[in-house]
Structure 1
Amino acid sequence: MNTLLLPTYFPSISHFAAIIQAEKIVFEVEDNFQKQTNRNRTYIYSPNGIQLLNIPIKHSKENRQKTKDVQIEPDFDWQKQHFKSLEAAYRSSPFFEYFEDDIQPLFVKKHKFLMDLNFEALAILTKCLRLKLDITTTSEYFHDIDANTTQDYRFLANGKRDNAIFEPYPQVFNDKHGFINNLSILDLLFNEGKFTIDYLKNQTLRFP
C-alpha cells in the first residue's frame, strides 16, 4: 500500500506518524500551491502557548502556481527568527541540545525553492531518528486515487483538516498551558528523543 503525502515544513505529528507507518511513501510534487497550509508553516509549543512559524514566499502573478515552483522570499530574516523561537520553546527540553547541531544548518543555508527546503527538513529528521525510508515522488497530479492501492494523506498539509488526536506526552510548558495536541514533529522529537519512533508507531491515526 502506498501512502501519498505532500512535503511540508517540519511536518505535524500526524503527518510524520503516517510516514513512519507507511509501507511505501509517495510525495506529491505536482500539486498547486495553496496559501495558509503547512506547506510553508509549522506549529510549536512556545512559553506563551501555540506558536506559528511561517516561511515567507514570493507571490506569483499567476492564478495557479505549482508548489515545486514556489520560491522563498529572501528579504526576511525568517531563519534567524525561527531558530530563536525554537530555542525559546525547547532549550530546556530533554533532547534539544542533542539534536541542535543536526537541525541548525537548515536555518543557515539559503534555499531558493520551498520544496527543496521541505525535503531537506525531512532528511534532517530521518537522520536524527536514524530512519531509512522508501520514498518516491509523483510525475503527474491525480485528483482521484485508488483507495485499494493508495492511502491519500495529502489533506494533512491543510492544518484545518489535520486534526488527529494523540496520547499526551511530556511537554516543556505543560504546567502553564496543558497538553497541546498535534504540533510539529520537532515538539515530539525534543521532548521524547529516541522514543519518538516508538510513540509514532503506537498511535492510531484518527480524525474526528
Structure 2
Amino acid sequence: MTQALLSSAYFGPVQWYQKLHRYDRCFIERYDNYVKQTYRNRCVIAATGGPQTLTVPIERYEGRKCLMRDIRISDHGSWRHLHWNALVSSYGESPFFDYYADDIRPFFERRWEFLFDFNLEITHTICSLLDIRPTIELTGEYLQAEDVCADDFRDAIRPKHPLIDATFSPRPYYQVYAQKHGFISNLSILDLLFNEGPEGIFLL
C-alpha cells in the first residue's frame, strides 16, 4: 500500500491533488506548526496579468508557533468577496466555470472558524467534482514519515523553494491565457477544474 503525508491546503495545487489520486492512503497533517506563505492558506491562479496569489487571512495567535488545527480564519479585508471576484475575472470565460460555479461559490459565502476545517471541506468537494476517491486520514498527532511508511510531501509541496518531487511531472492542458503567458504549471486545482472539467482527472 502506498501512503503519502500532506499538509493542509487551500484549493491546493495540481501536485497536491495528484497525491490524493495516486496514493492508496493520504494522511493530512493537523499537528504540524502553521507556516506562513505556504499552500496552507494560499493558492495561485492564472489571472490576465499572469500568476496571482490569493491568501486567506488568519487571526493572530499567541507565541511563535501554533498548530495548524488551531489556526482561525480572519474576516479582515473582505477577502471572500475579493477571492471570488478574482476567480470570476480569471475564469469566467473558461470552458467549465459556469458548470462548477455553484459548487465553489459557497466557500466564499459561508464562514468557517478554523482554516483546517475549511480546507478539508474544500478538499472533499474538489475530489467529488473530479471524481477522485482518495482514502484520507487525519493525523491524531504529528507523524514521522518512517512510522507510517509514507512518502512525506509536507514540506515538498510549497509555493517557494519546493523540494524535488520525482513523482510529479506537470502535464500541459488548456489554459485561458496560454497564448499570452504560455502554460503555467502547478496552479491551484481550480485552474484545472475550470479549464478541463471532468477530464481533469486524467491529468493528475
Classify the secondary structure of the residue corresponding to 2:98.
helix
The yes-or-no answer on 1:183 pairing with 2:178 is no
Q: Which residue of 1 aligns with 2:129?
A: 128
CA distance in 2, matches of 1:166, 1:75: 35
Q: Which residue of 2 aligns with 1:203?
A: none
The yes-or-no answer on 1:199 pairing with 2:203 is yes
- Deviation per residue, 1:150-175 (Å, 9 max, x gap): 11111244222167541221100111
CA change 1:59–1:148 in 2 (3 A) is closer
Mind listing any 5+ residue stretches in structure 1 that lack a counterpart?
A: 201-208
CA change 1:131–1:17 in 2 (3 A) is closer
Shift in Å, 1:53: 0.2
CA distance in 2, matches of 1:46, 1:129: 22
Q: Which residue of 1 aligns with 2:154?
A: 154
Shift in Å, 1:133: 2.1
- Deviation per residue, 1:51-73 (Å, 9 max, x gap): 00000111212111101101111
Classify the secondary structure of the residue corresponding to 1:76.
helix
CA distance in 1, matches of 2:120, 2:37: 19
The total of aligned residue pairs comes to 199
CA change 1:6–1:84 in 2 (3 A) is same
CA change 1:45–1:162 in 2 (3 A) is farther
Q: Which moved more, 1:147-156 or 1:169-178?
A: 147-156
- Deviation per residue, 1:114-166 (Å, 9 max, x gap): 11110111111022123332111111113x42288211111244222167541
CA distance in 1, matches of 2:134, 2:49: 35
CA distance in 1, matches of 2:103, 2:68: 26
Q: How does 1:92-171 map to 2 (within 5 A)?
A: 92-142=93-143, 144-146=144-146, 149-160=149-160, 161=162, 165-171=169-175
TM-score normalised according to structure 2 size: 0.92
- Deviation per residue, 1:179-200 (Å, 9 max, x gap): 1111001101111111111111
Residues 24 and 134 in structure 1, CA contact (< 8 A), matched pair in contact too: yes
CA change 1:14–1:178 in 2 (3 A) is same
CA distance in 2, matches of 1:117, 1:172: 28
CA distance in 2, matches of 1:150, 1:71: 28
Mind listing any 5+ residue stretches in structure 2 that lack a counterpart?
A: none
Shift in Å, 1:28: 0.8
Q: How does 1:46-125 map to 2 (within 5 A)?
A: 46-125=47-126
TM-score normalised according to structure 1 size: 0.90
CA distance in 2, matches of 1:148, 1:127: 26
Q: How does 1:2-21 map to 2 (within 5 A)?
A: 2-21=3-22
Q: Which moved more, 1:16-25 or 1:126-135?
A: 126-135
Q: Say what the alpha-carbon RMSD is for the aligned residues.
A: 1.6
Residues 21 and 133 in structure 2, CA contact (< 8 A), matched pair in contact too: no
